[in-house]
Structure 1
Amino acid sequence: MAVNSDIFQLMEKWAPKHLAYDWDNVGLQIGSFNNQVSKIMVTLDVLESVVDEAIENHVSLIIAHHPLLFKQVKQVNVDTSQGRIIQKLIQHNISVYASHTNLDTADGGVNDMLCDLLNIKGTKVLQQTYQEDLVKIAVFVPKTHLNEVRDAMSENGAGHIGDYSHCTFQSEGQGTFMPQEGTNPYIGSANNLAYVDEVKVESIIQLPKLAHVIEAMKNAHPYEEAAYDVMPLHNPGQTYGIGRIGTLEKEVTLHDFAEQVKHALKVPSLRVTGDLTKEVKKVAVLGGSGEKFIHTAKKMGADLYITGDMTFHIAQDAWQMGLSVIDPGHHVEKVMKKGTKEYLDNHLNNKNIEVILSNSNTEPFQFI
């Protein structure tokens, strides 16, 4: 039986917490790392109706996009909606975990999901927010255990360069050491100099994965004390950021593409600025509230910018600079529900955990 922390680790392998904005509150919101989990419900928001749905379906863990707790909670007043939500979650032993701007930023996250739905190709980051630091690790391994140590490191994050994994360099040499009194050496004996044919295995690691790689290496290494070096690199690591920009397969009028957006995102209506007869091809997308990035989208050559919560004067600014805007609403981030379920189903490795989607409507607006 899995516990919550197993699911949290799985989510953070996809959307690491360090990718979240400083102001964001991601991770565990309510509950415990150690509670057993048998049923997960994925939702965009944690409203009272969503909690009631979770109780009815015997859910033990809610994974949400928007954090339940954004601001400091100074009191839990059960006469308020937030107070009742917290009370019900605790009474029914339901934990809540949020993956927000880190899931927006992550590869395959919310913005990539939106681009896939809208058939926007060749995407790259719209606004860089994080670049990973890289380090190089060099480990000295006896030839007899080369494969075990190398594979353990690679399977825990070492040697991933672009679309390639298990990237290492190996050089042979001879190692020497003298075990002291009280040691339990794998090779050699106390107070005698040992000579061992060894292989130096070098690999590049993203800094956040270093601890896991070292732990895996030590577990696979036969020596009582593994010898290894870690060196910082100036090589640029992978860039992460908010939003995406890419191109459509062919030019289409703003009006026709707006209709495609309505259909793909299943929204009854949307707001559009710009000449509806103008053809668009290069499109920027930012799920949620992205109005402050209109200048970035324009600078990167976008004909059209798709984002939510566009206010009047910002929309006017975009219109005047020649950038068309489609605002389908903040709630289109609900695409994360299906994407998160698919990710969990594919990575739970037969842990006998059911993942369901919330059916509660959390869209505050009605269209009449």
Structure 2
Amino acid sequence: MSTIPSANQVIKLLESWSPQRFAMESDRVGLMLGSLERPVKKVLVTLDVTEAVVQEAIEQDIDLIISHHPLLFKPLTEVDTDTAKGQVIQKCLQHEITVYAAHTNLDIAPGGVNDWIAEAIGLENTSVLVPQKTDALQKLVAFVPEENVEYVRKALGDAGAGHIGDYSHCTFNSDGTGTFIPGDGTDPHIGNRGEMTFVSEKKIETVVPDSKLAHVLNVLTDVHPYEEPAYDLYPLGLEGESIGLGRIGELPEGMPLETFAHALKDVFAVDGLRVSGDLGKTVKNVAVLGGAGEKYWPQALKAGADVYVTGDLTYHNAQDAQAEGLSLVDPGHHIEEIMKKSLASRLTNEADSANVQVSFKASAVSTEPFRFL
């Protein structure tokens, strides 16, 4: 009989690749409301937590809401249930709905919001636009019985260990002998309780980025034949992959700015958008940053972008960028809505792989406050 996971178990699926430590300083991420110890059968993924979204959650018996934008970004001095925010909090508490936010950590994480936006546009050869930090590397050394080596080694590589440049599943292996005496309360895979056991083992050495370490160790524990897998971790003086905000990449073929802008209307299903620059200019190198990214236009220019796609652009910054030869496209902050279906799909796959019995649904409620008339 399968057990119902807690909210904490569900969140671990997300934080295994989008940990809170990726978030920008002073950003509010993590638990917003409720308890991570509550059992969870259904999860709703949304861009914002509005009253309409909470009502949707109530009607669908949702136990956990995962939101991109934090419900509680600024500290509260009171919870006035006559206000819109107070009513949202009250309904969540009344219906025992836990609320969790993954904000800039989900923007920064490889395979997160900015990669989803870049993929939707069709960008190739993407890299980080605004580096924030490097994903530090650890050396993992695991000791595995010879007959289980291939299975464990493949599982570690599939989980993200041993990736060096364009190579994956990189390991170094050496032979040795493991010894142990199983205690009275053990159920040893090899050997007998109370007897010294000698096992021919392989030492597998590989590298793991910090962002994937928790997941890789969980996989090691799951696939290793021993009750208590033996492994060592060593910090390395090597920098891993650069992680940060935004992405820059190339379109498969250059096209006029006007054609590109019209294409974005279809990609993001928006009624209109704002464009600055020569509409006849050919654009090929494209920088993107989900949300409000206008302050990073100099980085887009320096990175060689022909056009920068982001939200919440203002008059004078658009003028300055245009004067420097950088075109801008503002399809709105709300294009981050792409995260709903993408995150729900990824978490569904990860829950299936981890045998976690929970369902994920993308919110059908639009939280876009603007309309084009």
CA distance in 2, matches of 1:316, 1:97: 38
Work out whether residues 16 and 214 of structure 2, in 8 Å CA contact, stay in contact via their aligned partners in 1.
Answer: no
Aligned to 2:88: 85
Q: Which amino acid aligns with 2:65?
A: I
Aligned to 1:18: 21
Q: Which amino acid aligns with 1:345?
A: T
Work out whether residues 16 and 212 of structure 2, in 8 Å CA contact, stay in contact via their aligned partners in 1.
Answer: no
Query: Does residue 123 in structure 1 map to residue 126 in structure 2?
Result: yes
Worse-matched range after superposition: 240-249 or 217-226:
217-226
Work out whether residues 17 and 211 of structure 2, in 8 Å CA contact, stay in contact via their aligned partners in 1.
Answer: no
| SS across alignment from 1:346 | helix
Alpha-carbon offset, residue 236 of structure 1: 2.1
Aligned match for 1:318, one of 308, 317, 321:
321
| Structure 2, gaps ≥5 residues long | none
Worse-matched range after superposition: 122-131 or 351-360:
351-360
CA distance in 1, matches of 2:180, 2:113: 55
Alpha-carbon offset, residue 103 of structure 1: 1.4
Query: Does residue 249 in structure 1 map to residue 252 in structure 2?
Result: yes
CA distance in 2, matches of 1:191, 1:38: 45
Aligned to 2:370: 365
What do the CA deviations read for 1:270-293 (whole angstroms, capped 9, x no partner)? 111111111111111111011111
Structure 1 residues 201, 272: closer, same or farther in 2, change over 3 A? same
CA distance in 2, matches of 1:268, 1:189: 70
Q: Which amino acid aligns with 2:276?
A: T
Aligned match for 2:291, one of 273, 276, 288:
288
* Percent of pairs with identical residues: 46
What do the CA deviations read for 1:32-86 (whole angstroms, capped 9, x no partner)? 1121212221211001121122112221111111010111122111111111111
Structure 1 residues 208, 298: closer, same or farther in 2, change over 3 A? closer
| Structure 1, gaps ≥5 residues long | none
| TM-score normalized by the length of structure 2 | 0.86
Alpha-carbon offset, residue 2 of structure 1: 2.2
Query: Does residue 203 in structure 1 map to residue 206 in structure 2?
Result: yes
Aligned to 1:47: 50
Query: Does residue 135 in structure 1 map to residue 138 in structure 2?
Result: yes
What do the CA deviations read for 1:217-274 (whole angstroms, capped 9, x no partner)? 6784759894x54332222211111111111122211111111111211111111111
Q: Which amino acid aligns with 2:328?
A: V
| TM-score normalized by the length of structure 1 | 0.87
CA distance in 2, matches of 1:122, 1:59: 38
Query: Does residue 32 in structure 1 map to residue 35 in structure 2?
Result: yes
What do the CA deviations read for 1:306-327 (whole angstroms, capped 9, x no partner)? 1000111111110111100001
Aligned match for 2:271, one of 261, 268, 273:
268
| SS across alignment from 1:243 | strand
| SS across alignment from 1:295 | helix
Work out whether residues 178 and 190 of structure 1, in 8 Å CA contact, stay in contact via their aligned partners in 2.
Answer: no
Structure 1 residues 357, 158: closer, same or farther in 2, change over 3 A? closer
Q: Which has the larger radius of gyration?
A: 1
Worse-matched range after superposition: 29-38 or 87-96:
29-38
What do the CA deviations read for 1:79-102 (whole angstroms, capped 9, x no partner)? 111111111100000111111111
Equivalent pairs counted in the alignment come to 365
CA distance in 1, matches of 2:117, 2:300: 16
Alpha-carbon offset, residue 358 of structure 1: 2.0
Structure 1 residues 286, 200: closer, same or farther in 2, change over 3 A? same
Structure 1 residues 262, 75: closer, same or farther in 2, change over 3 A? same
